[in-house]
Each structure stands twice: as structure tokens, then as C-alpha cells.
Structure 1
């Protein structure tokens, strides 16, 4: 073998060793990744992923809360008497189905009575009377206070209701 052939054989051998070492390193790296994935698969409980179960239970709880929510409308959005007047129906004149107090008068002994409308019927109420599911708490010469559904309704019909402008 001459010097030229020896050099080519050494060069081929050198490149072969470098390629072999790089392939070995590449295979080692892939093997560690596969081992990690395999260990994760072995340690994972099939069908009992805790994070997924927690997420599902939170979603079910949220759904139950939304299904059990009850809405109370103050006014019926489908009531056409608020928009148009119908002949022969007295409640369409005012367009209001709830409680409406329009006047108060003195009884002479320092107490007041009020005229309130509920479902197109007129009622004379005093303090303590019940109307439309609410209780009259206070009557003054210009206001009526009715406590209904944990709220206090205030009907202002005196001249001072125009003072806000």
C-alpha cells in the first residue's frame, strides 16, 4: 500500500468514526426521550386523570348553579299594553301592572292614607296594609314607602318630585 492509499483509508476511517459517534449520541438522546415518555405512560393512571376529573366536577357544579338560578322580572317584556292602548281594558290606560300610588291625604289625626292601584283596582291603604305582596311602611304627604321582595319601593307624587331637575 502506498502512502496515498493509506491516507485515503485513514481519512475514511476517521469520517466513519465521527459519523458513528454522532449516530451513537443521537440514538442516546432519542433513547432518553423515549424512556421519559415510557415512564410517564407507566406511572399515569388510565381513566383517572385527576386534573381532568377536577375540571369536569367544576364544570358540572357551574352547570348546576346556572340551572338552579331563578330570574325574577320586574316587568313582563311581552306585555304589549306598555306600548299600545287596547280598547275596553282599563289597565292599558296606565300601562302598569304592578303597584302604583298616586295620591295621599290626611286623616285629620296626623296619619295619612294613600290611593294605590294594583292590577287595575283602586285601594285606599294606610300604614301596615298589604298590597301586591308588599307592606306599606310609611305614608307622608308626598311619598308612599312600600317594602316588597327585600326592597323598598318609593312612590313620589308630590310637587317635590320635580325638584331633581
Structure 2
């Protein structure tokens, strides 16, 4: 799997109007892994799906829990610190967090075993489900439909 192609897709989709705020709301509300969701969309656009979403979740769990989440928490803490030096540090942590997100995508690319997908949205829809997140089916479906619309995938 081409790491750079996955990253380009991620940056393009995440940068579309309304996509980032919706992803961040889902991340805060229920712990959605934005990288994982974007990776599911990417695979679908390539006519592929993961053989096991759970295996991918396990592949990135430690990295996410021990690197990405602590960096995110640190960046958020620094946001309201008044010192210029704290804000400079916040920018560095923000850059490091972005690099950590990119490494997570490399982990996903290296770990994924794919199967053919006839529905390009099936993997992403399967990931965003009440089985994984504290959301109702209607909430999952609504968020999924909004993401697809905002990213131009429907």
C-alpha cells in the first residue's frame, strides 16, 4: 500500500469544508479514530476493504494510546497557556502530533490485509457503528451520510 497516496487522500478529504469539525466532534464524543475512518474511505475508493477492521484497530492501539492521545492532550493543555514560550511549544507539539498521525497511517498500510469491495463505502460504514462507538445506529448513519456528502463521496 502506498503510504504517500494514503496521506494525500487524507489531507485532501480532511481539508474539505466541514469535514474536520465533524471528525473532531466524533473524536471527542465517542473516541472515533479519524485516521482509521479516513483509511476505510481510502480503501473503499480503491475497491478494497480490510479483511478485519478489528485487526487494524489492534495494530494501531498502542501507538494511538501511548503517542497520539498524549500528544493531543498536551497540545490542548498548552492552548490556554499565556506564555509565548508555551505557545511555541504548542506549535511544536502540534507538528509532532501530525507526524504521529502520519506514522499511524504507515502502521495501517503495513498491517492491512485487503479483500475486494463491491461497495466503496462499506468499510467506512462498518467502522462507524454502534458496535465500536457509544452512538446509536441513527447517529452513526447520520454522521456517515454527512461525511460522505462533505467529502464528495455520494
TM over 0.5: no
Report which of the two has the higher share of strand.
1
The structure with more helix, counted as a fraction of residues: 2
TM-score normalised per structure 2: 0.21
Q: Normalising to structure 1: TM-score of the pair?
A: 0.20
